[in-house]
Amino acid sequence: MLVLTCPYCGVAACETELAPGGEAHLKRFGPGSSDEDFEAYLFLRPNVKGVHFERWRHAMGCGKWFLAARDTATLEVFGTYRAQTSAPPPEIVAAIQAKRPDWSLT
């Protein structure tokens, strides 16, 4: 069972306590953007097999959204962090690179 630690309340929450929310760090395109950008923002996903950043909500706990770095090919969790950021923090990137030396943030 997937266990993620909520960065707000510190609880190691199992999957039944959490609600998944899709890919994290999407760059938002709104009115005035091109059709291509808007489509990419709304629908197109890299759907990575490997290191994946994603949104989760501690639905049955504190109720807050947070972000997680996880490997979709192995179900390994690299870490969780607060949602008030537009890119993974350095310690998360370091934690991933410690286990995936070939991986880099693109």
Partner 1 sequence: MRRYSAFAIAREAARHHLGWERAWRSPTPKPRYDAVIVGAGGHGLATAYYLGKNHGIRNVAVIEKGWLGGGNTGRNTTIIRSNYLQDPSAAIYEKARSLYETLSQDLNYNVMFSPRGVMMLAQTEHEIRGYQRTAHANALQGVATEFISPRRVKELCPIINIDGPRYPVLGALWQPRGGTARHDAVAWGYARACSDMGMDIIQQTEVTGVRREGGRVVGVDTTKGHIACDKLGIVVAGHSGVMAERAGFRLPIESVALQALVSEPIKPVMDVVVMANTVHGYMSQSDKGEMVIGGGADGFNNYTQRGSFHHVEETVRALIETFPIISRLKMLRWWGGIVDMTGDRSPIISKTPVEGVFVNCGWGTGGFKAIPGSGWAMAELMAKGHSPLADAFSLSRFREGRFIDESVAAGVAH
User: Rule CB under 8 A: which residues touch partner 1?
Assistant: 1-2, 15-16, 19-20, 22-23, 35-36, 39-40, 42-49, 52, 54, 70, 72-75
Which CB atom, from 4 or from 92, has the smaller least distance to partner 1?
A: 4
Amino acid making up residue 102? D
> How far apart, in whole angstroms, are the C-alpha atoms of residue 4 and residue 97?
19
Which CB atom, from 59 or from 62, has the smaller least distance to partner 1?
A: 59
The half-sphere exposure of 12 on its side-chain side, counting CA atoms within 13 A, is: 5
Are 17 and 60 in contact by the 8 Å Cβ rule? The answer is yes
Nearest distance in Å: CB 86, partner 1:
20
